[in-house]
Amino acid sequence: MCRSLIFTIFLIGLVNLHIEAQELIYGRYTTKEIEFEAVDFEPEADAVVLGEISTNKIVIPELESNVLRRIKILKPSGIQHGTVTIPFYSGSNSYVRMTKVKAQVTNIVDGTPKTLTLKEGDFFTVDLGNGWKEIRFTLPDVQVGSIIDYQYSKIDKRLTILEGWVFQNQIPTLVSIYSIDIPSELNYRVLSQGEQTLKHKFDWKKDGTYKWILKDLRSFKEEPYMSSPSDYYEKIEFQLAGYGFRGSNSVFADWPELAKHIVNIESFRSYIKPNKTYTQKLQELNVVGDNQLQMAKAIYDYMLENYEFDGYVGILPTDHIKQLLETKKNSRPELNLLLLAYLNQHGIEADPVLISSKGNGRSNIIDSPFADQFNQLILTVMADGKSYFVDVTNKEVPFGYLPVDFHVEKGFLIKDKESRLIPIQVNHRSGIQQSVNFKLEGGNDWVSDATIRFLDYDGIRMDRLKEKNGEEYFQKETMGFNMDQTQGFSFSSRNDPRKVVDMKWQKTFSTNGEELLFIEPFLYSRFSENPFQADSRTFPIDFYHGFLDNFNTSIDIPDGYELDDFPEDVSVALTNGTFSFNYKVTAMENTVKINSTIDLKQHVLPAILYQDLKYFMEIVTSKLKEPVVLRKTTLP
Amino acid sequence: MFLALTGFFFSLHLKATVPYFSILSHHTEIILQDDYTVTYKVKKSTLILDKKGLGHGNILIPYSEIHRIMAFEGRLIDPSKGRVVKKISAKELSDYNNISKDALFDDQRVKFYGMGEEKLPMIVEVEYEVKQSGNFYFNSWYPLWYYNQKVEEATLEIRYPQALGLRYRKYHFDLAPDSSQFGDEISLSWKMKGLNPLAKEQENQAMYLKILPKKFSLEGFEADMSDWKNFGLWFAKLMVGKGEVTASLKEDIHRQVRGLERDTQKIEALYRYLQENYRYVYIGLGIDGWMPQNAAQVHQLKYGECKGLTNLMRSMLKEVGIDSQYTLVNAGVNEEDIDIEWSSNQFNHAILRVPLEDQTIWLECTSKTNPVGFLGEFTKNRHVLVITEDGGIIDKTPDYQEPAFNTFLTKNVIELKEDGNAHIEGEYIFKGNPSNNFLGLRTTMNGKDQKSFLNRNLGGSGLLIFDFYLEHHVENFVPTAKINFTGDLQKFAQNTSKRVLIPLNWKKISKEDLMNGKLYVHDIYEIHVSDKLEPENKLPQITDLNEEYSLKINTSWKEGVIRVEKHLETHFTCSETGNDLTALWQKVNVASIPSIVFKKIE
């Protein structure tokens, strides 16, 4: 019987790779390791983790972890791996202690191993602030062929959530082993992430030891259009699910029970159920609005104007409502809960929702009541029968929009007995609507009037870029204007009823009486160059939000000109249909109209589509620059 | 050091309209002793008026083995009641490592107290004393600590033994010090009152006072800082005995230069040996921050910091009969040049100067990628202090403005397909500064990343490299990167119903290419097109000559092959950066934008 570990992954079978774990002993190398020269699945690698093992044992009240890692240097550029840093979270109360750190490097000189060992004074502990520390050391005489072993023990007093193990490294890893020995009175649930880890077959024994053995893990590197590396690591973590005899006492039986626990925390409760003093104070806010949505927006705007976000995030408030009302500055949970309190006191339904934002390293939320999966508190607001997700920490983000790294799959709704995981569906119609008209004014002077509307998240993005960089930089760098040809630029922004940024300008240019005139019909595109230049892709491509761009250009053909040529119509889509591009030219008597749409329906695309996406983007960027050709019929 | 970390400036010519969030009064006492110790006593009172000024009340005291905090007292006072709200003891200060960037470890630490959500207004009073062993480190005095801060009173008193001597220089103020003498001790003091706040934009009107003792010492090494020659002598002392070459190192050295006759060949061979076998690791403890490691020690460890690696290279060259000089520089891409009129420690890095009969070679000994004799952005074009046995001398590193250091040549043979895609075979040669991008490719990236990097940086849009061969070499100390590649160009040409448009400027000039001010480009394209295409009209010939650049593009067409030859020379000053650089970049690329237009024929 699997007595104390509940696995949320489907068990395919068991494997026994125990021998490999035993073979990794500090300072003892196999002939295969000594002769190892290149990683077959990543031949360009300059160094490799030959093996690593993390052996863990819970001896209540502590978790003791012994870690051994073996690195081999394969190329001159890999010599940098002779310097090692081991970060760890110690906390303000020294939750974690690092002991028994040792390291050595072995070179084979004339067929004989020559080993150099670090002394105690060669290890440095660095305090990085905010509870983080780092052990640093560097090994001498590191060269191509060197084998580096280092080992340490970590004592961790935190048993509610165990740190677990990341199976991947910055360099490829041949084998990564994690084992944990859990006493029968504790019951843990596994939080897994990463394709290999989720599918992985693991080993367990009757004595309470559980083991994961992952092999041939690719090195981990950031790629463009990727939210955060930590969301993709192959890793496991453990959350305490029960305790007592055979772990029979659940920490939380279900989501409502977890919600009840959270709501009963005094600081949290002070917002959800404020006492009379604060109820009155909250109700005193004069809110004007014809309907719930208008009132909710008014309260939201009031909060933005009068309260300041201090940059800290979390899922639980540390401060009571009283403090926030006095200081008017606090972290995300306090601000969002105060918004909730204001809304509730004005008859508008609002509930807290916990999410794991992108970059939190928990992209795979499991349907078990563990609060540690989450890192942010937002709200869901019901106004006039329609629901909105809200976060009141950013002055640039209007009511009903979330930061783009909050666009995640699921969140935990805290709502009495209805508490559960809910989908985070942020309704928006982001996109760019471009309308351009070209006409000849005077002898050889052409004018193009451009109006571009940026909607929803695209509007928020443009507002932010202009605010951050100033107008001159915005025009030159963001919009790519040639300032000698640009006149009458205007920028306006509004939040209601949705986020809209409007820009207008004129582009002028003169001809020199050429017979052929080439006109690029569109003046702006979110993809002026193909952003995907890498050869291949390992991780999904994250655009953060979908969009629908609609470009319309009309060119008035003046007397003395005729339409000679124009780009061919195109209609292409990625194989899964989530990204499509259409381009159509309609020629009429004195006008030619060019219409194009770029439609991204799903903002995260799987890596398998990368080559198609790369070519798709090349078509899009190239096509949008193709010219319409006018021919002069009356030559001077 | 604590004063320098505040890093804020002041001007006497401010408009009073700058808002202020706090009012500061402070008194600093600096006592120099015969034994070269220095005591700093600081009393500071900050009245915080606005929450934007909360940070002005933060307490930040750097310390190390050389700077020890001897006393500390702090308190928060409610000004409305004159009552002490909170006493801050030394134990309540957070204590952090303040390790320099790129250091594995050093002993710099900081004591810190951050202001919370205190009710305002609030007075933060702090008194502390720091004792410094050795007077090598000496920081400027700033009457104003923060922007948007008014100063009620700022005083500085310096006491020093006459024999030690003192130099000072005032910036943007004329106030002379009150001076007095008691026996051998001289006292100088400045007192300022009612200073208006400074906005961040006004930092270039800074008021500050540079102070230095004439004689100084650090951990027993005494010297005179009154001129560069004497200052350099101190560094020369630190290097005594550090160049010892062990038998095993000698063996390694002579193995590298076996069969080589010319000095330049030996320099190149030993530099390559250094790059391939040693790595940069900085561990700075006490005076180790300034004293180079022994050459023998670096040889054994196979790592060292800039001083140790430079000293090792110097020792290796000496072993083969080539003299070189340890040289100090203020390194960094955006670092200001040193003030050569103010002999003092203004340096953060060491390089090596090798004077040969007909040229001077500069070696950056921490880089695993720099070609021999090429300094790159980190240390080029700035004044340096060269350490000789006779003392320090000021020299300047090269600016690499000559054409030989700013050239790239490309040859592109392109086979255009009907759908607008193309196949390309390219040979690109980058000389000097333009080669920088590609020098570290082999050592810092794996094969897959190298291809991706080249796809992004080698040419224009749509490049997909299949194979490439990258070769580095150095010709007369000019680094050169040569890249031969084959690949595809996705959507190289644009198709309309009747025409094909082929870009004249597929490989655009990047802003980085223009950064050095001088650039010499020669691009050749041979574009093979289908026999179903013919030129629409006369092929474009472009000549654009102006003060900033000259551009010539010649195109010709013969038997299905278009030949495009592009010559570009830029010649503007390096100061044209930011928006001006953007405008120039637009011009250089836009000027050559017209495409070659081909008609589709049946």
Full DSSP string of A165-220: EE---SS-EEEEEEEEE--TTEEEEEEEESHHHHH--EEE-TTSEEEEEEEEEPP-
* Chain centroid to CA A626: 35
- By Cβ distance, the residue of A83, A129, A622 closest to B494 is A622
Q: Write out residues 99-128 of B within 8 Å (CB-CB) of A.
A: 99, 104-105, 117
φ/ψ region of A347 (left if φ > 0, alpha if ψ in -120 to 50, else beta) reads: left
Q: Write out residues 191-210 of B within 8 Å (CB-CB) of A.
A: none
- Does the pLDDT of residue B406 top 50, yes or no? yes
- Does the pLDDT of residue B176 top 60, yes or no? yes
B497, B585, B588: best to mutate for the A interface, most A CBs within 10 A: B497
Residue that has been written with the tokens 């006759």 in this structure: B261
- By Cβ distance, the residue of A126, A141, A619 closest to B97 is A126
- Does the pLDDT of residue B211 top 70, yes or no? yes
Contact A473 B579 (CB under 8 A): yes
* Total CB pairs under 8 A between chain A and B: 135
- Structure ipTM over 0.85, yes or no: no
Contact A124 B456 (CB under 8 A): no
Chain A positions touching B501 (Cβ under 8 A) are: 518, 626-627
Chain B positions touching A535 (Cβ under 8 A) are: 448, 451-452, 455, 464-465
Residue type, B225: M
Could you report the per-residue pLDDT of B281-329, keeping only the tens digit for each? 988 766 556 788 899 999 999 999 999 999 999 999 999 999 999 999 9
* Cα→Cα distances B540→A426, B458, B556, B598, Å: 52, 25, 9, 12
* Start-to-end CA span in chain A (Å): 95
Contact B497 A45 (CB under 8 A): no
The C-alpha of B210 sits at a distance from chain A's nearest C-alpha, in angstroms, of: 32
Note whether B462 contacts A: Cβ–Cβ < 8 A.
yes
In this structure, are strands B67-78 and B383-388 parallel, antiparallel, or unpaired? Answer: unpaired
Residues of chain A with pLDDT under 70: 1-23, 202-207, 245-250, 634-636
Contact A231, A220 (CB under 8 A): no
pTM reported for the whole predicted model: 0.79
Could you report the per-residue pLDDT of B514-570, keeping only the tens digit for each? 877 889 999 999 999 998 898 887 888 889 888 888 999 999 999 899 999 999 998
Note whether B162 contacts A: Cβ–Cβ < 8 A.
no
Residue type, A547: F
* Cα→Cα distances B14→A14, A442, B23, B150, B175, Å: 76, 52, 16, 11, 17
Chain A positions touching B302 (Cβ under 8 A) are: 140-143
Q: What percent of chain B has pLDDT over 70?
A: 94
Residue that has been written with the tokens 């041979």 in this structure: B526
Contact B464 A138 (CB under 8 A): no
Structure tokens at A151: 């080992």
A83, A86, A124: best to mutate for the B interface, most B CBs within 10 A: A124
* Cα→Cα distances B338→B127, B392, B394, B546, Å: 33, 14, 10, 35
Structure tokens at A375: 């890192």
Contact B495 A518 (CB under 8 A): no
| Cβ neighbour number for residue B308 with a 10 Å cutoff | 29
Q: How far apart are CA A482 and CA A504, in angstroms?
A: 15
- By Cβ distance, the residue of A142, A565, A614 closest to B497 is A565
pLDDT band at B427 (very low <50, low <70, confident <90, very high): very high
Contact B452 A564 (CB under 8 A): no
Task: Please give the pLDDT value at position A634.
Answer: 67
Element (H, E) at B535: strand B533-535
Chain B residue at shortest CA distance from A530: B461
Residue that has been written with the tokens 């000109």 in this structure: A561
- By Cβ distance, the residue of A43, A529, A618 closest to B490 is A618
Chain B residue at shortest CA distance from A527: B461
Note whether B279 contacts A: Cβ–Cβ < 8 A.
yes
The C-alpha of B103 sits at a distance from chain A's nearest C-alpha, in angstroms, of: 10
φ/ψ region of B477 (left if φ > 0, alpha if ψ in -120 to 50, else beta) reads: left
Indicate the Cα dihedral angle B50, B55, B59, B64, nearest 10°.
Answer: -170
B100, B112, B490: best to mutate for the A interface, most A CBs within 10 A: B490
Contact A77 B499 (CB under 8 A): no
Task: Point out the least confidently predicted range of A177-181, B116-120, B335-339, B418-422.
Answer: B116-120
- By Cβ distance, the residue of A140, A618, A625 closest to B301 is A140
Chain A positions touching B582 (Cβ under 8 A) are: 476-477
Residue that has been written with the tokens 């000594």 in this structure: A34
* Start-to-end CA span in chain B (Å): 79
* Chain centroid to CA B233: 26
Contact B501 A627 (CB under 8 A): yes
In this structure, are strands B303-304 and B279-280 parallel, antiparallel, or unpaired? Answer: parallel
3-state SS assignment for residue B219:
coil
Chain B positions touching A530 (Cβ under 8 A) are: 461-462, 490
What is the average pLDDT value for chain B, to the nearest integer? 88
Burial B65-104 (b: 16+ CB within 10 A, else e): bbbebeebebbbbbeeeeeeeeebeeeebeebbbbeeebb
Q: What is the DSSP letter of A43?
A: T
Beta bridge partners of A421: A412
Q: Which residues contact A240 (CB under 8 A, 6 or more apart)?
A: A159, A160, A161, A186, A187, A188, A189, A251
3-state SS assignment for residue A255:
helix
Note whether B494 contacts A: Cβ–Cβ < 8 A.
yes
Could you report the per-residue pLDDT of B375-393, keeping only the tens digit for each? 988 999 999 999 999 999 9
Contact A535 B444 (CB under 8 A): no
In terms of Cβ atoms closer than 10 Å to its own Cβ (0-12, 13-18, 19+), residue A375 is: middle
Beta bridge partners of B181: B186
φ/ψ region of A319 (left if φ > 0, alpha if ψ in -120 to 50, else beta) reads: beta
Contact B496 A124 (CB under 8 A): no
The C-alpha of B422 sits at a distance from chain A's nearest C-alpha, in angstroms, of: 13
Phi/psi at B526 (5° precision): -115, 110
Q: What is the DSSP letter of A477?
A: I
Chain A positions touching B104 (Cβ under 8 A) are: 83, 124, 136-138
Chain A residue at shortest CA distance from B96: A127
Chain B positions touching A46 (Cβ under 8 A) are: 446
In this structure, are strands B67-78 and B83-88 parallel, antiparallel, or unpaired? Answer: antiparallel
